[in-house]
Amino acid sequence: MKSRQIKAAETAKVRVALLRWYLANRRDLPWRKSRDPYSIWVSEIMLQQTRVAAVIDYYGRFMKQFPTVAALAAADEAQVLAAWSGLGYYRRARSLHTAAKMIVHELDGNVPTNSEALKQLPGVGRYTSAAIASIAYGEAIAVVDGNVERVLERLDGVARSGDSVWQRAQELLDTNSAGNWNQAMMELGATVCTPVAPLCDSCPVQHWCKLPGHDVRKAQPARKKRELIFGLARRGSRVFLVQRTKDESLMPLMWELPSVDASTHGNVLARLKHSITVSDYTILVVELAARSVPKGGKWISIEELARLPLTGLARKAFRKLDIL
Ligand code: SF4
């Protein structure tokens, strides 16, 4: 495809326009108040696969509980998972915890200061290492996420994939303000150059855009619908929970309500919706007699629940039932 991308002479103007817009319009997000690499790292890991609005509260609580890399390294895995409970994709929390221990035990407590070294940490890939290195240390390295990819596609009028997107992002990067530039590109994609109905009239780079308003939505896989039934058994102020095994591919060792056979269930206590990747679940929480609980679980006091690594679904069910 013949490239129609912005001419080199115009690139400087694009940079000025976008950075100016970003500095005047950026959202006031808690992790933007600091250039501490640990704070930025935690926020970037939380923001993978999770919306900004959902991350804000979790981030505040997590940083209060584990304000430094040393505090995180010293915590038990169960405490870290409990703090993460509800955010989903628990592998992120485990990797963050393992990486914090590596930093404390092998790197004298110092977070690596460049993208190559950051990439050696568990759970830190090309995107996260570039985000931390550019924002915390000003390293001249571009990031690419879904937002950046979409902005580049519309701006240049060229659909790219793989390495060529990263190369183009690197060409356009303002190397003197790499951290702000990267955040500006992502912010533009998140708030103005949105997947559907972009706000081109408010866009600081509209003048240079080759495909204003272009619809770049990719075909989404069909969503599956399923129903799951969980039982809630109570004994005084205790509830019965089961723990997932350590071999489970999803949410190993986390606690949840026991599942119940559709043909035997009692009164429905709550009905909720839950979505994971490409599946939409209808969840029924039903009454389960204390004498009918499965083997291998545990009676847990309600006070203890908040400290336990619960699956997001269990937490949601307890909230719906006013137990948490
Ligand atoms: S003009 Fe519209 S399509 Fe182009 S970059 Fe701006 S918001 Fe996106």
142 phi and psi angles, rounded to 5 deg: -85, 155
Predicted confidence at residue 1, as pLDDT, reads: 40
Amino acid identity at 1: M
Which residue from 31, 91, 42, 35 is spatially nearest to 71, judged by alpha carbons? 42
Question: Residue 50: which region, alpha, beta or left (left: phi > 0; alpha: psi -120 to 50)?
Answer: beta
- Supply the residue whose CA is at minimum distance from atom 2 of ligand 1: 200
In terms of DSSP H, where are the helices of the chain? Answer: 8-25, 37-47, 52-65, 69-74, 77-84, 91-106, 115-118, 126-137, 146-156, 163-172, 178-191, 302-305, 312-320
Fill in the amino acid letter for 95.
S
H/E stretch holding 26 reads none
> Nearest to residue 114, comparing CAs of 129, 96, 102?
129
Ligand 1 in reach of 151 Cβ (< 6 A): yes
Q: Is 44 noted as a catalytic residue in this protein?
A: yes
Q: Give the mean pLDDT per block of 10 residues along the chain (324 residues).
A: 65 96 96 94 92 93 96 95 88 95 96 97 95 97 96 94 94 97 97 94 96 77 86 93 86 90 80 84 91 91 90 90 88
Is residue 127 within 8 A of residue 185, CB to CB? The reply is no
- Whether residue 14 has its Cβ less than 6 Å from ligand 1: no
What is the Å distance from ligand 1's center to 204 Cα? Answer: 8
pLDDT confidence of residue 215? 78
Choose the catalytic residue: 10, 44, 77, 116.
44
Among 18, 203, 216, the mutation site with the greatest number of ligand 1 atoms within 8 A of its Cβ is 203
The confidence score (pLDDT) of residue 264 equals 67
Measured from the CB, is residue 192 less than 6 Å from ligand 1?
Answer: yes
Q: Note the pLDDT of residue 115.
A: 97
Confidence at residue 5, expressed as pLDDT on a 0 to 100 scale: 67
Q: How far is the CA of 278 from the centre of ligand 1 (A)?
A: 29
Task: List the strands of the sheet with 224-232, edge to edge.
Answer: 224-232, 279-287, 268-276
Q: Residue 246: its pLDDT value, please?
A: 83
